[in-house]
Structure formats: structure tokens, C-alpha cells
Amino acid sequence: MPLQLVFATNNRHKLEEVAAKINDEIQLLTLEDIGCKEDIEETGSTFKENASIKSHFVYDKYHLNCFGDDSGLIVDALNGEPGVYSARYAGEHGNHAANIAKVLDKLKGVENRRARFKTIISLIWNGNEHFFDGTVEGTIRHQITGNGGFGYDPIFQPDGYDITFAEMTMEAKNKISHRARAMEKLISFLNSHQ
């Protein structure tokens, strides 16, 4: 029987993305799969704290190996904002259009548009916590370009490309994204600890 690992998410797309990279000896489960109906509140002040809150919540309550992640956009000229508040930067959680508008408004007339996406993963494996991170550097465009992706993808142009994440295919984005880079480290760990 394969080892079970809970991904502290209900996002099926994220789960499929991860499952495609893990070998058959690990069975990935969502919060829904283990009967967890609670909304795990991200009350930390860093990505690391929020990722840890998610994984500890599941491990402490269900005693299952698990991992949680937290990600966000960090803009140099905004002193690291929106950071851990990326999903609710404009107030309402998940209002991507309002969040983008707020970033673009704050950057009006600003020359330095350097930014990065960052992901931190907290894995609790056999009672021990391990962290994995991934970052992708880039710049913030002056206007929205592209219809793909989600969040800040239409204004984020990764270094080495002349298009935004929202103009890339999901496959191309997943090769260079912050989440993909963190997941590769996690998967490498799992594959060497079975």
C-alpha cells in the first residue's frame, strides 16, 4: 500500500500538479479526502509561519504526514508588499482584479519595478518539520497582459521572458514558477526518504 501524504489544500489543480511529479509509492490526499472541513486560518506574519500553521493543523489533528504551502508576490518598491497579504491585498480575499489594480496604482510613476514570487512549503514527515522554498524573479508590467494563470500573473514578467505568466501556457509556467521550484525540492526529499 502506498504511503499517504496530505496536501493541506482543497485546490484540485494544485493537487494534480503535484501528483504528476510524485511517484506511485506516495498517495496524495486533500483536506476533503481526510474529512477536514475547517478553514485553516493563515495568521502568520511570514510565508514560513503560514505554511507551518497549515501543516501543523493537519498533523496535530489527524496524525498524518502532510505539507502546506504559502506563496505571494514581493515588490521591492513597495517594501515587500503585498507579501503574505497577496491574496487579500485590496481587502477581499481572492479579488485578483482589485489586488492587481492596487499594485499598479501604488507603482504609478515608479521606475524600480523589480519583484519576485516566493513559495514556502512546510512538510511534516514522521513528526519532523522540513521547509522547502522556491522563488522566481521578475518585473511588474505597467498594464495587464494575458488571460491565463491567476492572481498577479497578468502583470508579472519573469526574468528572461518578454511575456507575463498569464501569457504562458500552464506547462511553461509550471517549469519555472516559484511553486514548481519549491515542489521539486519537496519531491526530491520524498523520493529519497521512502
The pTM of this model reads 0.90
Q: Which three cell numbers stand for residue 50?
A: 503560514
The total number of residues shown for the chain amounts to 194
Q: Which residues contact 24 (CB under 8 A, 6 or more apart)?
A: 2
For the CA atoms of the chain, what is the radius of gyration?
17
- Predicted confidence at residue 50, as pLDDT, reads 95
Residues tagged active-site: 70
Q: Which residue has the cell 508588499?
A: 81
Is 3-192 assigned to CATH 1.20.1260.60?
no
Distance between CA atoms of residues 35 and 11, nearest Å: 15
Q: pLDDT per residue over 64-111, tens digit each?
A: 999 999 999 999 999 999 999 998 999 888 789 999 999 999 999 999
CA separation for the pair 157, 80 (Å, rounded): 17
